[in-house]
Amino acid sequence: MKLTQDEILNAIYNLILNPGTRDWERSLLLEARNALENGANFDTQLSKLEADLRPLALRNNLTPDVTDFYHHITDQTTSDTPFDFNKHSLDDPVHQDSAIFAGGCFWCMVEPFENRNGIISVLSGYTGGKVDHPTYDQVSGQYTGHVEAVEIIFDTRIIQYADLVELYWQLTDPTDASGQFQDRGNQYHPIIFVKDEQQRQIAEASKQRLADSGKYTKPIVTSIEPATAFWPAENYHQQFYQKNPERYKRIERSRRQLKAYQALQRKLRAPFQKSKRD
C-alpha cells in the first residue's frame, strides 16, 4: 500500500537527515521538499522525484533507505516489508544462543540458515569495524573496517552451534581471504566471530578437521575472531531472498556455479598433488 502524503513528506525529511543518503540523492529530495513547501502540486512533484530516481533504481544502485522509499512511492509492496526486530532477540537464554558468521555478501548467507529447523531469526548486518552505526555505502566502500555478516539466533534444543559451523563451511570458500566467490574486497572476508570460549573451541576444532580432511589443497584461511558490536543493516537488505526472489536466485546460482567449478578444479588437481607428495 502506498504511503499517505504526510507519510511521504515525513520520509523525505528523514532521508534528507539520514547520513546514509548520498549527496546527489539528498539534492533531489531537497528539491522536492522545497517545491512542496512552496505550494507545488504534490502528485506532479512526486512523479518528478520518482522519474529522477528511476534510472538508478532500475539498476539497483540507490542507497538502501532511498530504495525502500522508492519502493513505497511506486507501490512495490513485495520489497518493503520491515524486518521484525522483536523476533530477533534472546528471549530464553537457557534454550537459545546466537552466532555470527561472515562469508561474502550477506544476501546469500540468510536463506541457507533461516530455513533450517531450530533457527529463530537471521539478521544481516555489519561487524568487526571501528565505526558505530555504519551504513552500507561506508562498509561497501571499505571505510570502516566492517565485514558483511549474519547474526543467527537459534534454539539449542533443536540445533547446536557445531551444526551451524558445519553448514557455514558448506556455504563458503575457506581458502579465499580476498573475498568470497564473485564478492571481492575486505568487507567480504570469511570470518567466524565467537562470543565465548566454548564457541571458539568448537569453531577451531571444526576448522582443524576441515584442514585435516584433505578436501582443500590450499590452506584454510577463514579466521576465528572475538565477536564485537553487530550493527543491523538497512531494512532493504533484511531477508533479501524473500523481497527480491528473482535477483537472489541469479546471485545464488552464480555463487553455486563458482563453488561447483572450484570443487571440480580440486578434484582434477588431486591426482597431481598426490603424485608430487609421493
For 238, phi then psi, to 5°, come to -75, 130
- Residue 127 pairs with which residues in a beta bridge? 147, 230
For 123, phi then psi, to 5°, come to -115, 130
Fill in the amino acid letter for 41: N
Residues designated as active site? 105
Q: Which residue has the cell 562469508?
A: 103
Question: Do residues 245 and 213 lie in contact, with contact meaning Cβ atoms separated by under 8 Å?
Answer: no
* Count of all residues that appear for the chain in the document: 278
Neighbours of 237 (CB within 10 A): 22
In 3D space, the residue among 258, 97, 213 whose CA is nearest the CA of residue 163 turns out to be 97
Fill in the amino acid letter for 221: V
C-alpha cell at 131: 565505526
In 3D space, the residue among 52, 8, 72, 23 whose CA is nearest the CA of residue 236 turns out to be 72
CA gap 82, 232 in Å, rounded: 13
In 3D space, the residue among 226, 91, 242, 199 whose CA is nearest the CA of residue 155 turns out to be 91
Angle, helices 197-212/161-171, rounded to nearest 10 degrees: 40
- Would you list the DSSP string of 181-218? TTEESGGG--EEEESSHHHHHHHHHHHHHHHHTTS-SS
